[in-house]
Structure 1
Amino acid sequence: MLDFTAVVPSIPYILKGIGITLQIVVGATILGLVLGVLLALCKIGKITILRLLADFYTSIFRGTPLVLQLMLIYYAIPQLFDIQIDPMPAAILAFGLNSGAYISEIIRGGINAVDKGQLEASLALGIPYTKMMKDIILPQAMKNIMPALMNEFITLNKESAIVTVIGALDIMRRAVVVGGSNYHYLEALIVAGVIYYIMTLILTFLGKMLEKRMRRSD
């Protein structure tokens, strides 16, 4: 029988993990977005070495488990450089580097979807490539790929639960701690699942609102 009475007093403790989860997700998203833009520009650019390096980077981070990347950063960096890295920075770095690989493909697809006439007209008018990408191509691409970017953000929010393996006190880790303290793991994990589900619903709603606003601004 489920007995949530043993877990209810600890729900505020679990809820405090929302702040940790959001810090990781927001920090990783910012890092991933910046990195994704740079990688996408390298992939569509004419410099062969940069294009090959960007493709290689993407293949590595898309081809290996995220939990492996997280543990390599958390355990290998201290071993290699004799420094200590806390769980939060390690999580943001790992998620950001991983997310950048996926976002780069999303942005590359968005850029390629922009009407070629825009590019040709800009070149005909003598607009510098950097200015053209910043002011003309990328803004249009971002509108096209906003649903995919929001989906990546929501996925990152759920995948952030794996930081429990390095001891970060996020929602999942706190639920495990509560379960271990009173031996009601199932109830504590159900509470954590409900919290993640509600967060996903909220992020989905905010994403749809942002999409509608961007469509109205066209």
Structure 2
Amino acid sequence: MNIDFRFIVTAFFEIMKALPLTLVITTVPLLIGFAIGIGTALIRLYKVKVIYKIADFYVSFLRGTPLILHIYIVYLGLPLLFDVLAEKWGWSIRSNSIPLIVFVFVAFSLNAGAYMSEIIRSGILAVNKGEIEAAYSIGMTTSQAMKRIVLPQALMISLPNLCNMFVGLLHGSSLAFSISLMELNGKANVVASTNWKFLESFIAAAVIYWGMTILAEKVTAILEKRLRMFIKGGVA
């Protein structure tokens, strides 16, 4: 079997057309998941009554089940729930008008939030407790200490794991093709199906994924350096 290197180049540029959608599928849930992760981590750390048990279940269930199941559960279950609520409250829209990408956002955000809550929680716990006590001694409230002292340091500690989370979502975005969303993997399948050169097409897709992963690692290294300088220079 001969590999058509010329087609790899052709496929590369065709598949690159799906990169913007792939980045959207990756970054939007990452940002939403980060917010969910911080909230969930703080709820579990401070054991907020009743809510922290729900947070424990959320983290345990989402981390204990694969992403593909989250996609299918959201894709099949959310429309049912939406239509029931629409019927009850007299909404004029129905689930069939919801764009497919919304289901991916919900599934990926919930998945990312569960994993990031553990990443952020471990980062917070790694901060020296003496610094928190020092913050209290000069009159800072808990929220001020968290915002100005704990979270910046926890973020720096967690940055490599957050980068891994981005890479995981980037690779996991290929599962969006299971509900017909045309990201990199889906585009690779479509390009390959034109002349059955699947190996060449998937090699091209692999190069793109690999390049994005390397870029993410480089950006993380720069951010880590800047955060370290920020912390050494003191907090505002």
Between 78-87 and 28-37, report the one with greater CA deviation: 78-87
- Tell me by how many angstroms 1:6 deviates: 4.5
The answer to whether the aligner puts 1:53 opposite 2:66 as a matched pair is no
Q: Distance in 2 between matches of 1:54 and 1:190?
A: 40
Summarize deviations over 1:7-55 as a string: whole Å, max 9, x none.
5444333101110010111101101100000000001114232221111
In the alignment, is the contact (CA less than 8 A) between 1:14 and 1:174 conserved in 2? yes
Match in the other structure for 2:136: 123
Q: Distance in 1 between matches of 2:78 and 2:168?
A: 26
In the alignment, is the contact (CA less than 8 A) between 1:31 and 1:96 conserved in 2? yes
- Tell me by how many angstroms 1:4 deviates: 4.0
Match in the other structure for 2:27: 26
Mapping for residues 1-218 of structure 1, pairs under 5 Å: 1-6=2-7, 8-82=9-83, 83-84=95-96, 85-217=98-230, 218=232
Q: Give 3-state SS (helix, strand or coil) of 1:182's partner.
A: coil
Letter in 2 for 1:81: F
- Tell me by how many angstroms 1:182 deviates: 1.4
In the alignment, is the contact (CA less than 8 A) between 2:123 and 2:155 conserved in 1? yes
Summarize deviations over 1:100-148 as a string: whole Å, max 9, x none.
1111001111111111112222333332222221222112211211111
In the alignment, is the contact (CA less than 8 A) between 1:28 and 1:99 conserved in 2? yes
Q: Distance in 1 between matches of 2:215 and 2:190?
A: 26
Q: Distance in 1 between matches of 2:58 and 2:17?
A: 35
Q: Percent identity?
A: 38
Q: Distance in 2 between matches of 1:206 and 1:125?
A: 36
Q: Distance in 2 between matches of 1:56 and 1:210?
A: 32
- Tell me by how many angstroms 1:157 deviates: 1.0
Q: Give 3-state SS (helix, strand or coil) of 1:48's partner.
A: coil
Letter in 2 for 1:195: I
Between 142-151 and 96-105, report the one with greater CA deviation: 142-151
Hey, which bits of structure 1, 4+ residues long, moved more than 6 A?
none
- Distance change >3 Å, CA 6–CA 146, structure 1 → 2: closer
TM (norm. structure 1) is: 0.93
In structure 1, the gaps of 5 or more residues are none
In structure 2, the gaps of 5 or more residues are 84-94
